[in-house]
A and B are shown apart, each in its own frame.
Chain A
Amino acid sequence: MTLLLQTLIFGCLIGGVYALMSSGFTLIFGVMDVINLAQGCLLITGAYLSWWMWQRTGLDPLLLGVLSSAALYGIGWLLYKGVVARVQRVDPGLTLVATFAVAVAGEGVIALVFGTSDRSATPSYFNTSFHLGSLSVPKAQLYACIGALVVLGGLYALLRGTFLGRAIRACASSRGGAELVGIDVERAMAQMFALGAATTGFGGAALSVLYQFLPDSQDIWIGRVLCVVVLGGLGSLPGALAGAVVLGLGEALTSTYWDVRWTTAVPYMLILAILLLRPQGLFGITLRREGARA
């Protein structure tokens, strides 16, 4: 019983982090109809940035995620303006190929800048836990999950309670209508894309503390992100949270009760199962625009 409880706690904590990692992807799809395959690469970029700053300053890598997020906001803006917006004007369907190309090129750049060795940030609380009776709660996972939920809450509040958020949701609902109330749709789209990229700043910081990573780790992470959003329903922020917890629990239960080597297969098995059995996502959420509902 203790082992089960322990596994469930671990799965939920990781699920919170997965939710943040997937939030940018699902929002970009929900608002812009763009499947951003570079999101895994952005996540690994965030991890490298946090790790690099942690190495040089010794500051907490999760807190450094704030700086990584700012950097990734800028990278996201450039990526949108330089690639996505241009390709969209030619053929919106080509954004899938373009973002895949960015991911491949980005992986090469990361390898050139940071090398190809395993990296991970190991702050003082790394590998330590809080103990509640016979249960232990790993500090790194707990802090990362709390941080992820705070960022997700902030994102939700931004979308619901600010003019930027309303403008983004208006664009998701009707771009033509948004223009007619004076919204600069191109600017709102760029801000949305940059915001989606910025979420990988803290997500990458959490990744740098919780996992070892390499430039090509992006392949595993884009798989997890896709699993989360397919589970929750593409374009839905609450759906991403629910999908992320399901994936976190699925991986934790698999590694505890089956074989840790099967853990990396769990996302793909879940994607396959959900697409065959319930393509609208576990929670019956429709595709587009739900992201706008945040």
Chain B
Amino acid sequence: MIEMHSVVAGYGGGDVLQGLDLSVRPGTITCIVGPNGAGKSTVLRAISGQIHPREGEIRLAGSAIHGHSPAAVISAGIVQVPQHNGLFADLTVRDNMLLGGYLIRRDKARLRRRIAELEEVFPIVRERADEKAANLSGGQRRIVEFARALVLEPRMVLLDEPTLGLDPKASALVFDSTRMMRDLGTTVLMVEQNVRFGLRLASHGVVMERGRVLLADSSEALLARPDMAAMFFGSSAPPADPAEPEPGTGTGPGTDPQREDAHL
């Protein structure tokens, strides 16, 4: 699906990615983990066209996308859900959803159909349609961001730390919704600080350090490695993480916003 070869990229103050090689298979959830400053979010920014690699290449299903504008990358089938300010806070949920289909705005029938389909999958989109996004809780915003990302039926969605700032209940909702995206046929590449959460959610894992890929394997294999435990959990066995939700403990994506509110 996505192939990154010898990618060197950064923000002007220096190269964050230093010859990165990464491969993501179609139909998978791949989670990138690593210490702060490893360049995890930079990978997503390079793919989505927010920054352009100085060297190397990025290919989507064989076609080069490095150097493309964000709009061109979206047209190619990749949508990113950013870490912060994903939704336009002053706009209603409906307007946010419509903007998710900005590139197909002239095909009104398709846009209406897609939003109606996503309202079935993510009921909160319909229930809170007329409310400003600023009025939603953190977890609810994430669900609307996910729904918006799917308006264009992308081949791949990039999630940048989707559980950042969320409590366990909302994180569980993110867990279920991400799996649902995968089940709808979308490949997911995500960055996650919560290593156990991310790797349990994903089918594949990538460990990054200093702008390069250190390890890449199935997430089960990565979780089982003793050196991973030492690297990320500070002991030979991963400790229980009270903040980590179990799969399927969410109330379903946005089905009970009031109940979710009570936990946020």
Contacts and interface: CB of A to CB of B under 8 A. Distances in A.
Interface stretch (A114-122, A180-188, A223-231): A180-188
What size tier do the contact residues of chain B reach?
A: 20 to 34
Interface string A171-203: 011101111111110000000000000000000
Contacts of B80: 180
Q: Please report whether the interface of chain A is mostly helix, strand, loop or mixed according to DSSP.
A: helix
A182 B99 CA distance: 9
Contact of B98 (A163, A176, A184, A293): A163
B148 interface: yes
Contacts of A293: 90
Interface string B94-109: 0100111011010000
B252 interface: no
Contacts of A173: 85, 88-91
Contacts of A170: 88, 91, 99
B19 interface: no
A215 to B, nearest CB: 39
A182 B102 contact: yes
A139 interface: no
A172 B95 CA distance: 14
Given A176-B82, A176-B85, A181 B148 contact: yes
Contacts of B88: 169-170, 173-174, 177-178
Contacts of A178: 88
A167 interface: yes
What size tier do the contact residues of chain A reach?
A: 20 to 34
Interface centre among B91, B98, B100 (most CB of A within 10 A): B91
A64 interface: no
Contacts of A181: 74, 99-100, 102, 148
A67 B48 CA distance: 42
A166 interface: yes
A163 B90 contact: no
A289 B99 contact: no
A222 interface: no
B87 interface: yes
Nearest to A177: B85
Interface in A278-294: 289, 292-293
Interface centre among B80, B100, B105 (most CB of A within 10 A): B105
Contacts of B90: 169, 172-173, 289, 292-293
22 contacts: A163-B102, A167-B99, A170-B99, A173-B88, A174-B85, A176-B50, A176-B82, A177-B86, A177-B87, A179-B50, A179-B71, A180-B48, A180-B50, A180-B74, A180-B79, A181-B102, A181-B148, A182-B74, A183-B71, A183-B102, A184-B69, A184-B71
Given A174-B89, A182-B70, A182-B102, 14 more contacts: A163-B102, A166-B102, A167-B102, A169-B88, A170-B91, A172-B90, A173-B89, A173-B90, A173-B91, A174-B85, A181-B74, A181-B99, A182-B71, A292-B90
